[in-house]
Chains A and B, each alone.
Chain A
């Protein structure tokens, strides 16, 4: 049973924070190496299993930010501090943080697409001397869908941060932007194209149109990084659900540069 990769292990939930009405962050006991942008297979025995991005990690814990959106996540939503969830992984390639060092880094996310890059954003916000320039554009549906508010407040001190919502519903307390992320890409002034690295993570449609905006501005495909969301089921390249062309998103991805990303026709 030791070499059975597919048996999940029991992990204690150390803390739980509500981010929005639907998104909850779980701090789960975890020992072992992790890389930003990878994912874990989270199980509740009797309900099932789903791939969940690692939104942060540290000594002895992993942070998972989970949206209540399906059968399994409905059940996870009921878990409290002291309860257990079952994990296996980590899976996927993740982001190589060295790729972005000493560069002009632009990160654009849509909704929960922020979760898989949150740790990377944190890192460069805390070590701002390691990037030449740091632009962050975060899109959410509405003011009540904004995730990681405390972290965003901290990032605003160290980077150029634009937060936008599709619609603020005339909310008077909303002082950030209103509109789709694609409308704000022109606000980033790129001095030297060779120094730019762009990370785009969000829904398939959001990524498609956001990447197009960067291509229009002459950013080469090799400098645009996307993270694919697919139905990763086994996580180890066997079950076939996440295959696109000759690529298995779970083992070859989920992070691709757009040279590769562009060739993946579902």
Chain B
């Protein structure tokens, strides 16, 4: 069962939600894209359904709403600490199936790994209501089917947006009530069944020690420039740095912040004294690739990569992560040895 709403009617729903929610969706930022005369599609607050870019992949994932790029953890002065506040409003996110699946990876790292739940993640995550945007078809480079993240039932509301209006179906009492006065229709969201980009994901039991030292990684010393863009666009990268800053007018007062970090960028493993565990770009690429398709699964039971392919879309050196995965599978098929 579902409901059909005109854009004007759906905007009433957004208006209603906006009373106590911040409503985020992929939104166009004109001429800020990667190439000249292209647009950037970013998660931003919206007021109307017409602002939602539903027919393109967003350049960045919605993760920045719950793991902000930079986040103040607490303020300090001579007397002690004050925890940074967050907005009282709850959060609604229009989000695609792969990104909903990515959200489960974020939950795993921040809430399940280690003995404690991450305080800063939890207090934002608890506020989130999920409106799934149906993917009518696969976008360029997507390989969600290969990563088994094309489908999900984990949404509060699912929508099919078009210029003619919005079809939706609810998984919660709240949304069903909110929508009850609108026209009932048959609607079930469809999921992408096939991507053009098919990726052969290796079985983790086939991964051997040799692949870590294989010469296949060497090409990345020349190609990868360690800019870290792949990790900033990645919907599942969660690493962060913690840094303090103090205010010029009173050096004893300041704040501690958490900021996105990337395993590709210099300093990620550098300890005081200068010892750096992964110096070259090839070993950083190997580290990231193995995390996404091997060791995360070994620890948590599913692959980290969801196949959104934003890393492939954004790489200034045209490195395709999907091809890298295929390359790993091919090397393993050949026995994984290169005589090194």
Q: Do B73 and A6 touch (CB < 8 A)? A: yes
Judged by a CB distance under 8 angstroms, whether B261 is at the interface is yes
| B269 at interface by CB-CB < 8 Å | yes
Residues on A with beta carbons closer than 8 Å to the beta carbon of B241:
233, 239, 241
Which of B107-115, B133-141, B326-334 lines the interface with chain A?
B107-115
Known: A46-B251, A46-B252. A266 touches B277 (CB 8 A): yes
Of residues 223 through 249 on chain B, the ones whose CB sits less than 8 Å from some CB of chain A are 238-246
Asked if A239 and B287 make an inter-chain contact with CB atoms under 8 angstroms apart, the answer reads no
Which of chain A's residues has its CB closest to B262's CB? A240
Indicate whether A50 sits within 8 Å of B272 (C-beta atoms), given known contacts A45-B256, A237-B113, A246-B295.
Answer: yes
Q: CB-CB < 8 A to B278: which residues of A? A: 266
Question: How far, in Å, is B253 (CB) from chain A's closest CB?
Answer: 8
B 22-33 to A, binary, CB cutoff 8 A, 1 in contact else 0 = 000000000000
A240 B275 Cβ-Cβ under 8 A: no
* Residues of chain A lying within 8 A (CB to CB) of residue B213: 265
Q: Is the CB of B272 within 8 A of A72?
A: yes
Rounded to whole Å, the gap between the CB of B340 and the closest CB of chain A is 14
Least CB distance from B61 to A in Å reads 17
- Note all chain A residues with C-beta closer than 8 A to B212: 265
A241 touches B261 (CB 8 A): yes
Contacting residue for B239 out of A7, A240, A250, CB 8 A? A240
The reply to whether A46 and B277 form a contact with Cβ atoms under 8 Å apart is no
Instruction: Check A240–B238 contact: CB distance below 8 A.
Output: yes
A239 touches B240 (CB 8 A): yes
- A240 near B261: Cβ-Cβ < 8 Å: yes
Check if B187 is an interface residue, CB within 8 A of chain A: no
B115:A236 contact, CB within 8 angstroms = yes
Interface 1/0 per residue, A199-237 and B, CB below 8 Å: 000011000000000000000000000000111011011
What is the size, in residues, of chain A's interface with B at 8 Å between Cβ atoms? 42
Give Cα A47 to B246, complex, Å: 8
- Please name the residue on chain B nearest to A8 by beta carbon: B81
Q: Nearest Cβ distance between residue A196 and chain B, in whole angstroms?
A: 27
The answer for the CA separation of A247 and B251 in the assembled complex, in Å, is: 38
Where chain A touches its partner, the secondary structure class is loop
Given A236-B116, A239-B242, residue A46 in contact with residue B261 (CB < 8 A): no
Q: Does B119 contact A (CB under 8 A)?
A: yes
The reply to whether B76 and A230 contact each other, CB–CB distance below 8 Å, is no
Q: Which of A3, A48, A243, A250 contacts B291 (CB 8 A)?
A: A243
Contacts of A32 in B (CB 8 A): none
8 Å CB contacts to A: which residues of B273-299?
273, 275, 277-278, 283, 287, 290-291, 295-296, 298-299
The residue on B at minimum CB distance from A74 is B272
Across the interface, which residues of A come within 8 angstroms of B261, CB to CB? Answer: 239-241
Residue B339, interface by CB 8 Å: no
Indicate if B41 sits at the interface (CB-CB under 8 A).
Answer: no
- Produce 1/0 per residue, A28-49, CB < 8 A to B: 0000000000000001011111
Question: What's the nearest-Cβ distance from chain B to residue A203, in Å?
Answer: 7
Give the contacting residue for A45; candidates B116, B239, B244, B273; CB below 8 A: B244
When distances are taken between beta carbons in the complex, the residues of chain B under 8 Å from A6 are: 73, 119-120
Bound-complex Cα distance A127 to B213 (A): 45
Whether, in the assembled complex, B16 has its beta carbon less than 8 Å from a beta carbon of chain A, the answer is no
Contact (A46, B242) CB under 8 Å given A238-B110, A251-B113: no
Q: Which A-chain residue is minimally distant from B251 (CB atoms)? A: A46
Question: How far, in whole Å, are A45 and B79 apart by their CA atoms in the complex?
Answer: 11
Residue pairs across A and B with Cβ atoms less than 8 A apart, 11 shown, are A4-B119, A46-B246, A49-B256, A70-B273, A73-B272, A204-B277, A230-B271, A231-B268, A234-B240, A238-B238, A266-B277
Apart from the given pairs A46-B246, A231-B268, A238-B114, 6 other A-B contacts in the complex at a CB distance below 8 Å = A46-B251, A70-B272, A237-B113, A240-B263, A251-B115, A266-B287
User: 5 tightest CB-CB pairs across the interface, nearest first?
Assistant: A237-B114, A70-B272, A240-B239, A46-B246, A246-B295
